[in-house]
Structure 1
Amino acid sequence: MNEKEVLLQACFSYVNKRIASYKGEIDTIKESIEANDKSNDMDDDSGNGKLFNDLEKNAQHLSEATKTLDTLKLINPKKKSEGVSLGSIVKTSKNTFFMAISIGAIDTEENNYFGISLLSPIGQLLKGKMVGDTITFNENTHEILEIK
């Protein structure tokens, strides 16, 4: 596997674990709601109110994670571009970034990377930049040394 494929696989693994976790949580909450409904003959749904809120939150998180997965599917690990775009590996004078999703540090055998989204503040600054360009983020100046 090439460098981008390794990074992309790490991102897919991260998102798939999140999706599985949210689905598991949703299933557990649904079981709890059903158990409460069966054990409660009264018209008291106060216990279910919190469960419904948790269900809604997890459904929202699941939706966001699914959208993140869709973003990853747009990345072609064999594509090379001159400017920073989705799927680019951007080596700067300070860090090396993988322009995909915001997952923080990704450590491989070859290097340490930061997985960031193009929608993040630093992603917005890097988007479309070329080798030799500089950006300033959090009072740190990053010179773009290489784009893969």
Structure 2
Amino acid sequence: MKKQEILKNIQNILTEKIQNLQKLIEETRASSNDTKSSMGDKYETGREMLQQEINNLQIQLNGFSNSLNILKNINPVPHQSIGLGSFVQTEKGKFFIAVSLGEIVFEKEKIFIISAESPLAKAMHGLKKNDIFSINNVNQAIKNVW
């Protein structure tokens, strides 16, 4: 499996999300400044709501930035046992253990990008090819680990 290419694809997705959030924060700040200069104190509540929106966007931005830093520290070498940076194929699907991003499509295949802190990643941690694990009372076999 092209682990390095998948990792690069995930980094590109996160970089795009970061850029979009930065742009949205800038636009929201500009909107807040426009409201401040043209409306006076009467619309203080509106400005406060915009500030809360900026704060929420900043929290998302920080999360994506932290995820990108985690990805940059992953060494894409093949793994024998499952841990951070492992690409795993089970009977139920393919998983890349890195950050919480959800499903992506890479070369027409669905891959779930999951955090090492997720219950699924924790259930698979340390396992090897052909090992069996259980999550939600369902047994699954590890078909391959990269």
In the alignment, what sits opposite 2:135?
Answer: 137
Instruction: State the Cα RMSD in Å.
Output: 1.8
Pairwise CA distance, 1:55: 0.6
Partner of 2:94: 96
1:1-148 alignment, distance < 5 Å: 3-42=2-41, 44-77=43-76, 79-109=77-107, 111-148=109-146
Higher helix content, 1 or 2: 2
Q: Which moved more, 1:124-133 or 1:28-37?
A: 124-133
Name the amino acid aligned to 1:143. Answer: A
Letter in 2 for 1:116: I
- The AA in structure 2 aligned to 1:140 is V
How many aligned residue pairs are there?
Answer: 146
Identity of aligned residues (%): 25
TM-score by length of 2: 0.89
Q: 1:51 to 1:127 in 2, by over 3 A?
A: same
Q: Distance in 2 between matches of 1:112 and 1:45?
A: 47
In structure 2, do the counterparts of structure 1 residues 4 and 51 end up closer, same or farther at CA, with 3 Å as the change threshold?
same
CA distance, structure 1, for counterparts of residue 28 and residue 41 of structure 2? 20
Contact 1:83–1:129 (CA<8 Å) still a contact in 2? Answer: yes
CA distance, structure 2, for counterparts of residue 39 and residue 109 of structure 1: 51
Give the TM-score taking structure 1 as reference length: 0.88
**Unaligned stretches of 5+ residues in structure 2:** none
Moved over 6 A (4+): none
Shift, 1:40, TM fit? 2.5
- Aligned-residue offset at 1:93: 2.3
Give me the whole-angstrom Cα distance separating, in 1, the residues matched to 2:120 and 2:107. 25
Q: CA offsets, 1:49-95, max 9 Å, x none?
A: 11011010001000011000011011112x12211011111122222
Gapped runs of 5+ residues in structure 1?
Answer: none
